Amino acid sequence: MTERIGINLLTCNAVGNPLHLRAAQYAVRSLVASDIQRYDWRLQIVDNGSDCPATHEWLDELQGNVRVAIHRLGANAGIAKGRNIGWELLSDWRPDFGVEIHTDHIFPATWLVPLVAWTQQHLRIGMCGCALVTQGHAWGSPQVEISYDWPYEHCWNEIEKATRLHRRRGHMTEGLSHPAVYPWGALQEMGFYDGAMPGLQELEDIELAYRLTKAGWLVVIYHGSYVWHHYHFSRLVLNDWATSYDANNLYCQMKHGPEFIKFATTTVGNWMERAYKR
């Protein structure tokens, strides 16, 4: 396949929680072993101020792969600014699609090919997220309980079985999820995330989805592709998420007005309530 796929991963691992690093390692290991190999791909990792020495040793090792680039920040810049750095660095390579992944994902053998193909078939899709199997049955999704204390091979085998079982080719719902594929033109039109958001985290993805829908793009979940997601696991390294949420919520209301409040609560809530109902 000739498509150029630019993959954006933000890491922020705490020395006090070694499972953050292990999650990132499982994510990257499963990613590189997956069907991304059918594309011309680049992985841009932005380390968002990790204070874990083992993380930097691991990143040094990854730099031996010519398809992986590492950018390190001395302090936590927040999710929106950190991810934007990744997108801007990938811009120089001129990808056809941007793919956002998180450190709390584990990828089966096949996930990206159906996601990209579905996005190509529907030209107004601006953000096409995977359906998810999750730790804890989030949003009514299929549940697979995995521990990062388990060996990688055991985790991956359980996830591979579950994702094969739940795939529904040709089934799409409105919804917001990650990993997600973005046509590069849609990302460029939006200007990526809003880097002016004052909080370190929260609502940056909903604000981007809001702007995509206002511009006429579709924001969807494609159920022909499933990935495992440990919901909220990657947030544990970021302190005081409630303060960030309040700051970003006020910012978005000031920027977009009452329509954003309805979108962030009612619209997205209805999307996710319906997403996994058969």
Average per-residue pLDDT for the chain: 94
- 177-191 pLDDT, tens digit per residue, is 999 999 999 999 999
Q: Residue 132 — pLDDT band, cuts 50, 70, 90?
A: very high
**16 confidence band (pLDDT: 50, 70, 90):** confident
| Size of the chain, expressed as the number of residues it contains | 278
Task: Say yes or no to pLDDT of 237 above 50.
Answer: no
pLDDT band at residue 235 using 50, 70 and 90 as cut-offs: low
Query: Which residue from 224, 205, 225, 201 is spatially nearest to 213, judged by alpha carbons?
Result: 205
User: Residue 102's domain is classified under what CATH number?
Assistant: 3.90.550.10
Query: Considering the entire predicted model, what is its pTM?
Result: 0.96
The token pair at 96 is 């056809």
Residue range 228-254: mean pLDDT, rounded: 81
Positive or negative: CA dihedral 190, 193, 198, 203: positive
Show the domain range for 116. 4-275
Query: How many Å apart are CA 215 and CA 209, to the nearest integer?
Result: 10
- CA-CA distance, 159 to 108, in Å (whole number)? 7
| Percent of the chain's residues with pLDDT above 70 | 97
Model confidence at 231, in pLDDT bands (50, 70, 90)?
confident
Number of domain units in the chain:
1
